[in-house]
Amino acid sequence: MGLLVAAATAGMILGVTNDMRWVLAFGGAGLFGAGWWLGGRRRGGVVSLVLLCVPLVLFFAALVIPELPGLWGHLAFWLVFALFGWLGFRSQGSPRRSVIVALGFVAVLAGWYALAYVPGEISRSLNRLRDEPAPEFAFESLDATALPAASLEGKVVVLDFFATWCAPCIAELPEIDALHRRYVATPEVEILVVANDSGGDTPEAIRAFVGGRDLDVPFVYDPGGKAHRAFGFAGLPGLVVIDRAGQIRFSREGFNAAETDFQEMLVRIIEGLRRSAEPV
């Protein structure tokens, strides 16, 4: 049962949504239901309850917490929901009133944690303020013509490193496209989605991807992923904001749908850089 809950939660993250608010709810419901089954059928004591929780806790602690360390609360809530499920039928044929009241309190607390704490904590984990020179980079258009680097000089530049096989990249793309539409008539701001050949992506595959969607943001190609590495990224998506003097001012690696202020945050950064002094 524990492996089933962990596998279902991992499948949700990979195939449905990585929104950590829904991941909290899905994992909690799975462990609560499995704990209820264990308690109601008396199929084991405390050891069985612990073993039920171990797969999901280990999966999340090993693969998610290193990237989003502030989300340890998921583990605590999952353990508590499993415990309440297990206690619900442990001594009688129906759950005790005290268990129901306590469960309701924990559910309200989990709702506050998911809605008020998780979005901000994800942003704090992923975002980095920087002030260093941008490396040299060169892109190509999807028809293999060179994109002159001089065309970006003196502008606030937002580069979003992307792959067609990357689920978080695809989830982030509507936000980037909406940001581009906001600034499409602003000549001093340039927003580009940068793809490369990782995972077997080709310019043709990217053109096919873009052609099947209502996207306005321009895509460019980074042969060999040279720019991706030059900016210090190891994974995808990676986003960097460069000011009008060619300095990296902001970067982040990763995206989660729980970030309710993602686009507004980027607008604040861009507007601040637009108001800064002219490039020298």
- Give me the CATH number covering residue 217: 3.40.30.10
pLDDT number for residue 40: 74
Mean model confidence pLDDT for the chain: 91
Q: What is the mean pLDDT of residues 174-189?
A: 96
Residue 35 lies in a domain: yes
pLDDT number for residue 263: 94
Q: Is pLDDT of 99 > 80?
A: no
Do 104 and 8 share a structural domain? yes
Q: What is the pLDDT of residues 33-42, one digit of tens each?
A: 999 888 876 6
Q: What is the pLDDT of residues 241-275, one digit of tens each?
A: 999 999 999 999 999 999 999 999 999 999 999 98
Total number of domains constituting the chain:
2
Q: Is pLDDT of 143 > 90?
A: no
Do 209 and 100 share a structural domain? no
Do 269 and 141 share a structural domain? yes
Q: What is the C-alpha to C-alpha distance for residues 201 and 117, in angstroms, rounded to an integer? A: 36
Do 138 and 270 share a structural domain? yes
Residue 92 lies in a domain: yes
Look at 148 and 86; give whichever has higher pLDDT.
86
Could you say which of 71, 98, 124 is where a domain stops? 124
pLDDT number for residue 41: 64
Provide, rounded to the nearest whole percent, the portion of the chain with pLDDT above 90.
Answer: 79
Do 105 and 70 share a structural domain? yes
Do 141 and 59 share a structural domain? no
Do 74 and 176 share a structural domain? no
Do 242 and 141 share a structural domain? yes
Residue 129 lies in a domain: no
Residue 280 lies in a domain: no
Q: What is the mean pLDDT of residues 171-179?
A: 96
In this prediction, residue 280 has a pLDDT band, given cuts at 50, 70 and 90, of very low
Residue 279 lies in a domain: no
Range of the domain at 64: 2-124
Q: What is the mean pLDDT of residues 88-98?
A: 67
Do 89 and 185 share a structural domain? no
Q: Closest by alpha carbon to 246, among 168, 114, 137?
A: 137
pLDDT number for residue 150: 77
Q: Is pLDDT of 23 > 70?
A: yes
Q: What is the mean pLDDT of residues 145-167?
A: 90
Do 111 and 36 share a structural domain? yes
Q: What is the pLDDT of residues 192-233, one digit of tens each?
A: 999 999 888 999 999 999 998 999 999 999 989 999 999 999
Residue 155 lies in a domain: yes
Do 84 and 48 share a structural domain? yes
